[in-house]
Amino acid sequence: MEYYTGCGFSGYQVMTPQPPKWADKLLEWYCRKDKLEDLQGDLYEFFNRNVAEKGLSRARMIYFLDAVKFFRTYTIKKLKILGRMNSFRLFENYWKTSVRSIARNKLFSSINVVGLAISMSVGILMIVFVSELLSYDNFHEKSSRIYRVISSFEGVYNQGDPSNLASTSPFIAKKLKESYSGIEKVLLFRRNFSGDVRYGEKIITLQGHWMGDSFFDIFSFDVKSGNPGTMLAEPHTAVITETTAEKLFDEEDPMNKVITINGEDEFTITGVVADPPKNSHIQFDILTSFITYENDQTEDGSDRYLKVTNMWMYHVYLLLHENTDPSQIQDHLDQICEEENAKSDRYEVGFYLEHLSEIVPGKDLSNQVGPTMDFNIIYIIGGLTFIVLLSACFNYTNLSIARSLRRAKEVGIRKVVGARRRQIFTQFVLEAVILSLAALVLALGLFYIIRPEFLSMDIDDTVSMVIRPVYIAYFVFFSMLVGVIAGFLPATFLSKIAALKALRDPGRLKLFTGVNLRKILIVFQFTLSIAFIIGATISYQQYKYAVNFDLGYNTENILNVRLKGNDSELIKSSFSTVPGVEAISKSAFILSSGNIWGATLKYDDPLDSISTHLNYVDENFIDLHDFELLAGSAFPIRVNTENEEHIIVNELVLKRFNMGTPDEAIGKVMDVDGEKMAIIGVVKNFQHAMIESDQHEFIFRYVPDNFYYVNLKVQSGDMISLIHNLEKKWRKIDDVHPFEAEFFEDKLQEAYSEYQYYFKIIGFLAFLAISISSLGLLGMAVYTAESRIKEISIRKVLGATERNLIYLLSKGFILMILMAGLIAVPLTYYLFDQLVLSDVANRISIGFMELSMGVFITMLIALLTVWWQTNRAARANPATTLRDE
Amino acid sequence: MKGTNLGEFEELVLLTIASLNNSAYSVSICDEIERVTKRKVKLGVVHSSLNRLEEKGLVKSHLGDATKERGGRRKRFFEVSHTGKVALLKAKEQRDQLWSTIPDVVFQGIRS
């Protein structure tokens, strides 16, 4: 090996090891002239050493790394361009003046930082929330080509108000697969598989779906073992997640093991996949092959399965070819709809294509596969957040404009020295950005305080609200944006100041075309506060109203226990021995808490049918819940082998079919879903649905097979040990499923948690708005008191009382708040009366109490704030304030 | 105040420069420190430390002659300036003073 022999420009190309040229170039580019030669020399020396010791490629690598590593403050060139760029050098100066000005006005800076931080914490919450929602389903490799078919159904009972469904019928899958091109894969599955899965001695309850075999061809779930293309192709096969595998098989390899589902069907495990990521809208513990289910549905030869209206439980997903235009598929779907709708006049169906990314967040559809979020909710919360943010920005704007007189001289001098308007503008915007960045740090802290509260509002199965590294960039960008918005107006005002005027007589500067603007901003802030407080009050009242609503039957001291597939009679006899249990009834579901079951009801005219709501109950139900029987009696005890003979109806049924008085109706025979039953009792109307809906025709039936709950009337001084005793009994009968009992009243509260959430969100925003506007008001009050201190002192010397002075100083503010009240009250009233509560059948009437509350609270807080400052100014000793002139 | 006190590594570099007498340049300083202390020393560390020392006025430097293994580039030789010598002496003095006050019993039985 020959070494380098002197001058680099020798004509002979000597084969010597050379460091990478571009690394050299890099070094030469950034390194200062006076340091370059010996530094590069050193690196060459080491390079040659390394060539000998470690080989050429390693040496070149090390040379490159060193060249990069020597990029340090003392080695880099002073950039010539920077020297010429005045504004960059000025940047340093801006920074310095800004930081100094922020540090000097401690009160104002902290008011601004705190106000911004409070509102930005909600902004951060929104950023995390929306980013997380938008990341849904983006991990699928073919996501851009995945669509699903959604449906609408308009039948006789919901004319004019079609149901919009995320589900669709198997018919569509068949049709698309057979008759149309452009689709690479069609996936058909049935959602909500749930069962007790047994392997050996272990039994666990698992949730999942009956999944079509193209699932893993379309979606990119992480398959750990098994053949993705075929593992769901055979009947009685199942794919489980890793967590499930661990629970069920421990260390064993689950592949090809046979599990028993619900004690009867045997399934072979053909695959194991990683748990579906949180941001997948399809969640499962187990997937059972759809073909198993399909065979079951079609084996009796009935055509029900392939009916177009069989659209409540099935989902169809499509993987389109690369070059297929989705509108082409939509045309196919429209065509299918047209054909189908022509066949019947009893319903009208619609099928639409929806892209994978539009599922979460998405439209408000029923029958969703997994958790989702309505896009409108995002808009609403986002809008409210934006308004609160704006309010905090206004604080900054207001205070800065108010105090801008003090900076006028600085601006004057800058202008004399040659600053352009744009540069001054930049300076003041920068100042706002510095503040908002400081606020960001505080806001992040606040975010962690409000995060658990936010998650507790039943959305923790949709989002986890964890900050990912990339969000930090969003936050910084967001806070800079906030800074720019907040600083825009003050910067505009200050940069407008004429240099001569500012220097000659700053006191007479008329930059306050801003006075009116400031008032408008304050009025806006307080309008917002009042509106939010009123909103929170109304939603709280409505919640209380809903929970305490007189349903027409008794819910007190009733404990509902889910049967979970156990025999109702067995559970009943076991529970009846527990002391404290006074009576037991059985029912299909819990009334008044959101569930509605339906059936078709006819009387004497076979063509006149209605869809009635119903519940299946036993002989004790009516009595236990204190329903008021207007005529007839409760059910007699019924044995499962007898025919179902009786129903109990409410008054509305009588009215609907003109059956006369309750007494006359007893014994009349009605047609329930095609079976004849006699009315045995008539109950007074009661609220069986949530209070948003009106009362409806309702019947009770007695079908022992349809019991899913037992209702216990309990009376005990020690409910905890009572429930404990019940649980012990439960364990003896069923040791697989956990004992699940809930008081009726708790269930109702839970059902109306939506109102509670409204109250929480609006209440929280109200708190933010009022804090922010009070902070702003405090700032303005301090400023007013400060700048008028001489006037006040002179007035005082001339004989004004403290009360006069306080009145003088607060008059303006009080007027502004009254104005805000005048705007906010009618606005909020209209909003809630006409929009939010307009669809609710049973609602509070918005009265004086609800409306005046907001104005009152806001007024009180504002007055206290202003009073605190004006009082101080009014009490100041005129001798000390007037002395120094 | 910053700049009057010597850091441990700075002192090491300064002493090495003094001991190498006229042939001290970055690579040789590196090698010498490695030889004496048996620890791996990065060129970058020595370089920045030399830069600091020069800023503090503890060392002076001049460019020497070109050599072939350096691709025809000159070396920058360092020598300890007057201030540097004073600083080293002061450091030594402080240490000696401390050593002299340590009672013999403390190091009894220990040999380096």
Strands of the sheet containing A709-714, edge to edge, are A581-587, A709-714, A558-562, A741-743
Over residues B21-31, the pLDDT tens digits come to: 888 888 889 99
**Which residue among A3, A37, A43 places its CB closest to the CB of B74?**
A37
The H or E element spanning position A643 is: none
A642-697: per-residue pLDDT in tens? 788 899 999 999 998 988 899 999 999 999 888 889 999 999 999 988 888 888 88
Position A353 scores a pLDDT of: 92
Q: Please tell me the distance in Å from A41's CA to the nearest CA on chain B.
A: 5
What are the φ and ψ backbone dihedral angles of A726, each rounded to 5 degrees? -60, -40
Chain-wide mean pLDDT for chain A? 86
Residue A256 has pLDDT above 80, yes or no: yes
Query: Mean pLDDT over residues A596-604, rounded?
Result: 85
- Per residue in A460-512, pLDDT (tens digit) is 788 888 888 889 999 999 999 999 999 998 898 888 888 877 777 666 665 55
Distance CA A224, CA B6 (A): 60
**Contact residues, chain B, for A27 at CB < 8 Å:** none
Helix B43-56 and helix B8-20: axis angle, to 10°?
90
Higher pLDDT, A446 or B68: A446
- Which residue is closest to A43 within chain B, CA to CA? B70
Contact between chains at A72 and B25 (C-beta distance less than 8 A): no
Q: What is the pLDDT of residue A85?
A: 58
Q: What is the pLDDT of residue A211?
A: 93
Pick from A42, A51, A66, A76 the residue to mutate for testing the B interface (most B CBs within 10 Å): A42
- Summarize pLDDT for A31-66 with one digit per residue, the tens: 888 788 888 888 888 888 888 888 888 888 888 888
**Token pair in block for residue A405:** 């007189």
Closest to B16 in 3D by CA, of B3, B35, B29: B29
Question: Model confidence at A13, in pLDDT bands (50, 70, 90)?
Answer: very low
Highest mean pLDDT among A752-756, A849-853, B13-17: B13-17
Summarize pLDDT for A272-304 with one digit per residue, the tens: 999 999 889 999 999 999 999 888 888 877 777
- Here the tokens at position A636 are 């007699």
Q: Is there a contact between A74 and B51 if contact means CB atoms under 8 Å apart? A: yes
Structure tokens at B11: 């002192």
pLDDT on residue A511: 52
Looking at residue A315, its pLDDT comes to: 93
- For residue A366, what are its two tokens? 């029923």
Tokens, residue A710: 């037992």
Chain B environment of A39 (Cβ under 8 Å):
47
Picking from A818, A690, A837, the residue whose alpha carbon sits closest to that of residue A751 is A690
CB < 8 Å to B27, chain A: 42, 45-46
Rounded mean pLDDT, A223-237: 90
* B63 contacts chain A (CB < 8 A): yes
Q: Is the pLDDT of residue A17 over 80?
A: no
In this prediction, residue A316 carries a pLDDT of 93
- Asked whether the predicted pLDDT for residue A591 surpasses 70, the reply is yes
pLDDT of residue A86: 59
Per-residue pLDDT, averaged over A511-531, amounts to 80
Please tell me the distance in Å from A60's CA to the nearest CA on chain B. 15
Q: What's domain B8-99's architecture? A: Orthogonal Bundle (1.10)
pLDDT band at A407 (very low <50, low <70, confident <90, very high): confident
Question: Could you give the C-alpha distances from A245 to A211, A226, A261, A408, in angstroms and in order?
Answer: 18, 13, 15, 72
According to the model, what pLDDT value does residue A33 have?
Answer: 80
The Cα of A49 is separated from the nearest Cα of chain B by a number of Å equal to 9
A44 to chain B nearest CA, in Å?
5
Indicate whether A547 pLDDT > 90: no
Q: Is the pLDDT of residue A6 over 50?
A: no
Task: Return the sign of the alpha-carbon dihedral for residues A810, A813, A819, A821.
Answer: negative
Domain residue spans in chain B? 8-99
Mutate to test the interface with A, among B70, B74, B76, B77 (most CBs of A within 10 A): B70
Model pLDDT, residue A478: 94
At residue A62, the pLDDT reads: 87
Q: Residue A861: which of A817, A802, A804 has the closest Cα?
A: A817
Residue A37: closest C-alpha in chain B: B73
The ipTM assigned to this model is 0.85
Q: What are phi and psi of A638, to 5 degrees?
A: -125, 140
Convert the pLDDT of each residue in B1-23 to its tens digit. 344 577 888 888 999 999 988 88
Least confident range from A114-128, A154-168, A365-379, A570-584: namely A154-168
What pLDDT score was predicted for residue A272? 93
A448: confidence class by pLDDT, cuts 50, 70, 90: very high
Cβ-Cβ contacts under 8 Å, B77 against chain A:
none
Please spell the DSSP secondary structure of A291-342, one letter per residue: HHHHHHHHTT--SSTT-TT--SSEEEEEEE-TT--HHHHHHHHHHHHHHHHH
Q: What 3-state class would DSSP assign to A471? A: helix
Of the candidates A809, A808, A802, A812, the residue with the CA atom closest to the CA atom of residue A869: A809
Pairwise CB contact (< 8 Å): B48 & A6: no
Q: How far apart are CA A285 and CA A272, in angstroms?
A: 10
Of B44, B71, B74, the CB nearest to A69: B44
Of all residues in chain A, the one with the smallest CA distance to B27 is A42
Given an 8 Å threshold on Cβ–Cβ distance, is A6 in contact with B75?
A: no
